[in-house]
Amino acid sequence: MRYPKLIIELAVVLSCLLSGYFLPAQDAETAPVRKSSEATLPLAELEPDRKIPTLKQVVGHAWGEEVSSHGEVERYIKDLARAAPFRSSLKKYGTSYEGRPLYYLAISSAANIERLEEIRENNILLSDPRRGTEAEVDKLFKEHPAIVWLSYSVHGDESSGTDAGLLTAYHLLADLRKETRGLLEKLVVIIDPLQNPDGRDRFVNFHRENRGVAPSPEPLASEHAQRWPGGRFNHYLFDLNRDWYLQSQVEAGRKALAFSRWQPQVFVDAHEMGRNSTYFFSPATDPINRWILPVQKDWFERIGKYQAGVFDFYGFSYSTREMFDLFYPGYGDSWPTLQGSLGILWEQAGVRGLVVARDDERLLRYSSAVRNHYVSGIATLEAVFENREALLRDHRRVREDAASLIRKSGQRDYFILESGSPQRAARLVRLLQRNSIEVHRVREPLFVQARRMLEGTAGEVAVPIGSYHVSLEQPAGRLARTLLDRHTDMGKDFIERQLTRHLNRLDDEIYDVTAWSLPLAWGTECLAAEGEVKVVSDPVKLGAEQDAYRFNPVEGGEVRGGGLAKVAYLVRGDADELPGVLSDLLNAGVRVHVSDEPLVLGGVPFPRGSLVIRINENDSTVHARVRLLSKTEGVVFYPTDTALVDKGAQLGGPNVRWVKPPKVLLLMDRPASYSVGHTWFYFDRLLRYPVTRVTFSNLDGLNLSSFNVLILPHGKYDSPLAPGEKMVRKLKEWVRSGGTLLLMKGAAAWACGEKIGLLGSRQVRIREPEESAAGQKDARKKDGGKGAEGRLQPPVPGAFFEATTFQHHWGTFGFGPRLRLFFNGRTMLEPLKNDVGRNLVNFSREEDYLISGFCWPDSMDMLRGKPYMASQEMGSGHVIAFADDPNFRAMCRFQQRLFFNAVFFGPGH
């Protein structure tokens, strides 16, 4: 019963401790008090050391006077580090996709900076409860500085954070008062002023080019209303504040690595929200991930209370507890918290420029936004300073209690099985390691009573040698649990509240997707063992620092038998590496064929979708290329000296077709949604296959015959920006003459109306009951008259479902008859009739086909048996429709193969 006792103890300790010098009145005798209640930039009481340069001295504008660009941030932070070399340490921790460096500046006392590496190592020791003697640890609790990480503007157009981060750094380095100097003896403050430099500069450039001498407060003025895609996202239009555990993007991956090298006690992520709001700080609202501990929630309350005291003192408006959840593990507050840190969220009302009018007829200025984040920073540092030792102790205890909490839940050991896809298992392990999760490799086979994450069934299962073992009794055990479990519960009360709101047609309070299970997303079998298990295993390190999202390089590839093929090389159709291999072969001009039917050759079975590289159609360099690819992609090539198969499709027969290299056109810009960037990322970084990106406005003038694959991404097509009648006619002609048209989510919904007629389906809509339909007529009119044809369901908030696949079509190459499908959104399509096309992947017809996450009961009924992927032939071309975007967040690697099939096998079929 450790927690209740701990909380009581803490409550006593903290009520004494929480009396910082921001808090006026009751303790005026002893606590230092602010000189004035005026919050200026920088704070009026600051006694600056003139040797430390101000922002104006370095870049030409003062605090809050201008939105600083990445170049200005870089110049200033370097000058700060140069001016205070003994009290700061600048580290470049990565580079963005567009080549902009990512920095953090560590600031502390001179004595601490001198031994910064030792402090970092001690912090790692403290944050690992398995290390350190009692005496050693006790000494550290008394002396060791707490590590506070302040990070800003992960969304590039939420700009005030970055300037506030610079100002906070200036304050800490320039202030000569003993309060600030004393603070830095007990803290190491790590400031990452700009987490998303590419997005930032996109916003700053846009803003500056649109602003005149006098800034306009009109929210829709061109200096505020950004052009698509705006500055929120990174180069590939990913939301970096969803990518912490996925680490598909370089900025998130490098940051997570920097985090794990420090394991800070407190991690702050500073954002902006709408201009009409005020300021938000943690604690978060429901749902809170169930693996976040009560003691952590308690600390959020206490630090929030301290911050509230400071905001009250200055008369700033704020809100807390009623917005922003802590459920999905990919946020900048939930991920650090699941690691054991306190991940704190700040949200400031955003200006998106220098001044903006609010709906309450007040003006919001950039300088005020910068000021609020700055004061927030100083307040948080003081709260940590006041509670340093208690926080250090609890940080260690939280990382230790991961284990005891896990033990209580009865599941301690997870196993990742290679079962047919060793490459996929290895890549999943690598991703876990990038999340600071320790993994071992099983040395002796064993049997366990376990639940299978893919099937959801329980029973005795064999764990062979070479399987991976993840013990949850480790500091990051709670993160491991939420990432590996099949389902993370949102809590009964929260769900019931949402269902009631749903019945009353009120907006729900679900903030993001409700499922993310890595075994389901990767299609990798994982076992949750029940009870005590004895495992003999060795630690394994699979190059965690490398990019987990590349298709290469994982060991295990070879040319089977080692010899040169006389007739052909084959690659199995279900090989995980097939997409990367085919893409590389086509890039190199190698001619490749694919088998529509299974075959057996030399005793080896090859499923449908297997690749055939004929020697007689390629030049002699093909042997060396195959050999090289086997190593770089980790794939097995099977050489053959005969085309005569034992069984199934003949290598020279009609069922082995030429893979016509796709020439891909991807439509960007409005009406496309940002997830078009995720598709671009898939081609550009994962496949390394050329894709031509064109804006919708240029589609008209484009010679479509230069392309044989055209992707209409997800977006809102009920707008004048969507392709018009003439363009639709042009698209139909192009498909009839052999084009493969991919319609993603919103594009599929748009295309299936009678008016457009690119897809012979309809959107599934809710029919109003007869009697209520009349009463709601007016309301529906306001809804653009859509009510006449029924309304759409609220979106399914990202969940996994059982699905089935049609096994006689190239669209499902590489898949068995069943699939666990991630679905997010509201695009529900009626099945294509048999004489119109084929439904290739369909939501299951079973009663209980939701396997992870949350779905509205009526959506469950509507989605049952409906297609996720459908194909329709038109002339000699195809229209392939997806009800959701398989490339979303690069989250479901396994599912992306469906998209790959459509692009790479469409043109040749």
- Could you list the residues that contact Zn ion (CB under 5 A)? 155, 158, 271
Q: Which is nearer to Zn ion, 350 or 886 (CB)?
A: 350
Q: Which is nearer to Zn ion, 158 or 525 (CB)?
A: 158
Q: Which is nearer to Zn ion, 231 or 907 (CB)?
A: 231
In this structure, which amino acid lies at residue 623?
H
Beta carbon of residue 364, minimum distance to Zn ion (angstroms, whole number): 17
Tokens of 883: 């009800």
Beta carbon of residue 675, minimum distance to Zn ion (angstroms, whole number): 17
Angle at 320 between CA 317 and CA 325, to 5 degrees: 140
Cα separation, 116 vs 562, whole angstroms: 52
Partners of 103 in beta bridges: 92
Tokens of 66: 């201008």
Name residue, tokens 């965690």.
544
Beta carbon of residue 158, minimum distance to Zn ion (angstroms, whole number): 5
Name residue, tokens 């290739």.
840
Beta carbon of residue 190, minimum distance to Zn ion (angstroms, whole number): 20
Beta carbon of residue 273, minimum distance to Zn ion (angstroms, whole number): 7
Q: Which is nearer to Zn ion, 348 or 552 (CB)?
A: 348
DSSP for 397-428 reads HHHHHHHHHHHHHTEEEEEE--TT-HHHHHHH
Q: Which is nearer to Zn ion, 280 or 707 (CB)?
A: 280
In this structure, which amino acid lies at residue 495?
I
Beta carbon of residue 278, minimum distance to Zn ion (angstroms, whole number): 16
Beta carbon of residue 270, minimum distance to Zn ion (angstroms, whole number): 9
The side-by-side arrangement of strands in the sheet containing 599-601 is 604-606, 599-601, 647-648
Greatest extent of the chain over all pairs of C-alpha atoms, in Å: 95
CA dist 174 to 38, 51, 171, 377, 843, Å?
19, 8, 5, 15, 61
Beta carbon of residue 96, minimum distance to Zn ion (angstroms, whole number): 17
Beta carbon of residue 347, minimum distance to Zn ion (angstroms, whole number): 7
From the list 253, 195, 240, the residue with the least C-alpha distance to 435 is 253
CA dist 784 to 474, 749, 763, 777, Å?
55, 17, 17, 11
Number of DSSP helices (H) and strands (E) in the chain, helices first: 27, 36
Q: Which is nearer to Zn ion, 279 or 815 (CB)?
A: 279
Q: Which is nearer to Zn ion, 155 or 235 (CB)?
A: 155
Q: Which is nearer to Zn ion, 155 or 608 (CB)?
A: 155
Q: Which is nearer to Zn ion, 271 or 434 (CB)?
A: 271
Three-class secondary structure of residue 354 per DSSP: coil
From the list 610, 526, 619, the residue with the least C-alpha distance to 572 is 610
Q: Which is nearer to Zn ion, 271 or 352 (CB)?
A: 271
Residue nearest to Zn ion (CB): 271
- Classify residue 682 by its DSSP letter: I
Q: Which is nearer to Zn ion, 273 or 590 (CB)?
A: 273
Beta carbon of residue 66, minimum distance to Zn ion (angstroms, whole number): 21
Residues 231, 670 contacting (CB under 8 angstroms): no
Cα separation, 594 vs 612, whole angstroms: 6
Residues 784, 805 contacting (CB under 8 angstroms): no
Would you tell me how many other CB atoms lie within 10 Å of the CB of residue 779? 11
Beta carbon of residue 444, minimum distance to Zn ion (angstroms, whole number): 48
Beta carbon of residue 224, minimum distance to Zn ion (angstroms, whole number): 16
Q: Which is nearer to Zn ion, 271 or 660 (CB)?
A: 271
Q: What is the 3-state secondary structure (H, E, C) of 525-572?
A: CEEEEECCCCCCEEECCCCCCCCCCCCCCCCCCEECCCCCCCCEEEEC
